[in-house]
Structure 1
Amino acid sequence: MKCGVRFCGGCNPRYDRGKALEKIKEQLTDVDFVHAAEGEAHDLLLVIGGCTNCCASYDQFETKLGILKMWDKTHIDQICDEIEKKN
């Protein structure tokens, strides 16, 4: 599975978003996480926001299985479970 990743701009991050992605990657070694790219179809899109606004735009990306959004490090396990269900 190819999962595109979209980060917010980081104007008010309340946790280390890069570390959160690394923890997700450690749990889901069979998923190919790539920076989301316009014009490229991804199986899934993971939007990683730094605060509750989770304001990163994502309408410009194509996905086959949908979009998952997180805005807190406590979402890591839930995101992993959701991705495993779709994989």
Structure 2
Amino acid sequence: MKVGIKYCGGCNSRFERTTIAEKIKSDYKNFEISYAKENEEYDFIIVINGCHIACAGLHDLKSKKGFIIIRDDDYKNIRARIDKIL
């Protein structure tokens, strides 16, 4: 499964976005995970935002199954949302 990762601007220094991405990569080793690129199609895209503003732009991102928008670091909830899209 081809999965894109998109990050917000990172203005919230208390929220470590890359830690979540590393957990996802570790737990879903069968996924082909890379930074989401414009005009490239993914099975789904995980958008990691550090706050409720959710500033990560989604324009020009293509996804077959949609987007998982993350605004907190509740990893149990994140896994449940990934498993639901599968």
Same fold (TM > 0.5): yes
Q: Provide the C-alpha distance between the structure 2 equivalents of 1:3 and 1:40, rounded to a whole number of angstroms.
A: 11
Q: Amino acid of the residue matched to residue 35 of structure 2?
A: H
Q: Deviations along 1:12-64, whole A, 9 cap, x unmatched?
A: 24311101111122211111111001111011011000112111111210000
List structure 1 segments (4+ residues) > 3 angstroms apart after TM superposition: none
- Normalising by structure 2, we get a TM-score of 0.88
What are the ranges of 5 or more consecutive residues in structure 2 without an aligned counterpart?
Answer: none
TM-score using structure 1 length:
0.87
Alpha-carbon distance in 2 for matches of 1:65, 1:55: 21
The separation in 2 between residues aligned to 1:32 and 1:84, in whole angstroms, is 16
Letter in 1 for 2:81: E
- Report SS of the residue matched to 1:22: helix
Alignment of 1:1-87 (within 5 A): 1-74=1-74, 76-87=75-86
* Residue correspondences, number: 86
Query: Over aligned residues, Cα RMSD in angstroms?
Result: 1.3
